[in-house]
């Protein structure tokens, strides 16, 4: 009887560990992020908007953005910085799974949903219900928040 109980307890722990261990949480994304030039340039080719004109403009656009745009994620807010200007968005975590974390940002007119994904275990991608502009950008951890002005 004791042995049977031990086996059931062990299986319960293993099953719960398998369920929780694979889920991401916001801790994975906390920190400062900047656009990764090479990965973003490659990923942008998957956009339905990508064409010859975009292929010509994209390298310069990404380089310009790399110097001015950063995103900082804390436990309470997402901070978007472009040059010296910062916009703070308090959020709540809606859900998480093995591949993503979904947050909700309350805005005046509507609720914005943002989905963060881990790319190759070291980079971040995110999609927003407010805009598809960032869907093909890949972000790398940065050392500081301040961008070039």
Given this model, what pLDDT does residue 22 score?
58
Say how far residue 49 (Cα) sits from the centre of its chain: 21
Q: Can you tell me the distance from the alpha carbon of 67 to that of 113, in angstroms, rounded to the nearest whole number?
A: 26
Given this model, what pLDDT does residue 107 score?
87
Predicted TM-score (pTM) of this structure: 0.74
Residue-wise pLDDT tens digits, 4-49: 333 333 333 333 333 344 578 899 999 999 989 888 888 888 887 7
The residue-averaged pLDDT of 61-65 equals 80
Given this model, what pLDDT does residue 74 score?
95
Burial of 91 (0-12, 13-18, 19+ CB in 10 A): buried
Element spanning 59, H or E:
helix 52-68
Residue-wise pLDDT tens digits, 73-130: 999 999 999 888 999 999 999 999 988 999 999 988 889 999 999 999 899 998 999 8
Sheet bearing 69-73, strands edge to edge: 85-90, 77-82, 69-73, 31-35, 139-141, 123-128, 111-119, 100-106, 92-96
């Amino acid at each position: 009887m004791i042995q049977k109980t031990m086996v059931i307890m062990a299986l319960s722990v293993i099953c719960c560990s398998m369920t929780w261990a694979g889920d991401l949480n916001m801790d994975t994304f906390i920190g400062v992020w900047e656009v990764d030039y090479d990965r973003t340039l490659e990923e942008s080719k998957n956009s339905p908007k990508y064409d010859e004109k975009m292929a010509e403009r994209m390298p310069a656009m990404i380089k310009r953005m790399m110097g001015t745009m950063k995103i900082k994620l804390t436990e309470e807010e997402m901070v978007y910085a472009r040059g010296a200007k910062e916009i703070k968005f308090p959020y709540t975590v809606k859900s998480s799974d093995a591949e993503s974390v979904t947050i909700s940002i309350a805005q005046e007119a509507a609720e914005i949903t943002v989905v963060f994904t881990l790319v190759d275990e070291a980079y971040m991608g995110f999609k927003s219900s407010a805009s598809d502009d960032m869907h093909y950008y890949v972000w790398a951890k940065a050392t500081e928040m301040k961008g070039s002005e």
